[in-house]
């Protein structure tokens, strides 16, 4: 009798574990996109692209990127870290005044697989408060460090009324590795499609290659008819079929 109970317990444990694994396996990109909780890119026929920059601001490189964007009348989305934003209030205010989007990238850039849900919510909340104190607006977008996404991350972002924003799978420049200016340029330009969200970094190391690549990319894709808008400006395009309207 005892052996039968043990066997039954093991079978039930195995079945439940299998269910949990199956449920976890379904929570891939398709699952989260269907729920509308995470965005990687937007399907559209309009030649619009969102350039995004993580880990800043950094006075050395963010300033140069802002100048390049202004030259091309382009808008960018900056996923800033709270403690760096607090140290560089002038840059944050300038981004806001020039119409760029300031989004949340946590306060300290923690390891999301080990941080508690409570601590993650605090990281997001503290960064929101810094951005609000400098711009008068709370951010609406959140990008998790390392591109980690799961229930904990999504729920923490939603608790702060944020949409999780990733990047197009073909548009991870890996510029943090300093692979060379031309490789960054080729990655973006050779894979450019309407509705792309491109991942760059404007801090966290030497970003001279990123700055030089952004200059070339802006020149090249502008000539191909692309316009550079913020992620929040890009999102409404998913509800359009075909449009020729120029983004404001």
The pTM score is: 0.87
32-53 per-position pLDDT tens digit: 999 999 999 999 999 999 999 9
Task: Quote the CA–CA distance of 107 and 50 in Å, as a whole number.
Answer: 23
Better-scored residue on pLDDT, 118 or 20: 118
Query: For residue 8, is pLDDT > 90?
Result: no
Give the residue extent of every domain in the chain.
Answer: 35-239
**Would you call 135 exposed, middle or buried from its count of C-beta atoms within 10 A (0-12, 13-18, 19+)?**
middle
Q: Per the residue annotation, which of 46, 54, 58, 202 is the catalytic one?
A: 54
213-236 per-position pLDDT tens digit: 999 999 999 999 999 999 999 999
104-147 per-position pLDDT tens digit: 999 999 999 999 999 999 999 999 999 999 999 999 999 999 99
Banded model confidence at residue 241, pLDDT cuts 50, 70, 90: low
54 in active site: yes
Q: Per the residue annotation, which of 105, 109, 162, 201 is the catalytic one?
A: 201
Contact yes or no for 127/104 (Cβ under 8 A): yes
pLDDT of residue 26: 59
pLDDT of residue 4: 56
Just give the CATH number of 35-239. Answer: 3.20.20.370
96 in active site: no
């Amino acid at each position: 009798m005892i052996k039968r109970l043990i066997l039954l317990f093991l079978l039930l444990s195995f079945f439940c574990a299998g269910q949990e694994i199956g449920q976890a396996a379904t929570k891939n990109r398709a699952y989260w996109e269907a729920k509308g909780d995470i965005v990687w890119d937007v399907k559209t026929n309009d030649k619009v692209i969102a350039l995004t920059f993580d880990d800043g601001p950094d006075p050395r490189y963010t300033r140069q990127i802002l100048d390049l964007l202004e030259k091309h009348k382009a808008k960018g989305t900056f996923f800033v870290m709270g403690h760096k934003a607090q140290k560089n209030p002038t840059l944050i205010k300038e981004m806001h005044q020039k119409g760029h989007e300031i989004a949340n990238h946590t306060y300290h850039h923690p390891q999301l697989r080990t941080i508690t849900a409570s601590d993650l919510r605090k990281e997001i909340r503290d960064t929101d408060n810094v951005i609000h104190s400098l711009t008068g607006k709370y951010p609406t977008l959140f990008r998790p460090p390392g591109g980690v996404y799961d229930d904990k991350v999504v729920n923490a972002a939603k608790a702060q009324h944020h949409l999780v924003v990733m990047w197009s799978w073909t548009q991870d420049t890996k510029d943090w590795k300093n692979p060379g200016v031309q490789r960054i340029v080729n990655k973006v330009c050779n894979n450019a499609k309407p509705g792309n969200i491109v991942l760059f970094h404007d801090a966290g190391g030497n970003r001279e290659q990123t700055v030089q690549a952004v200059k070339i990319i802006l020149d090249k894709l502008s000539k191909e008819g692309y316009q550079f808008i913020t992620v929040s400006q890009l999102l409404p395009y998913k509800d359009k079929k075909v449009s020729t309207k120029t983004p404001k």
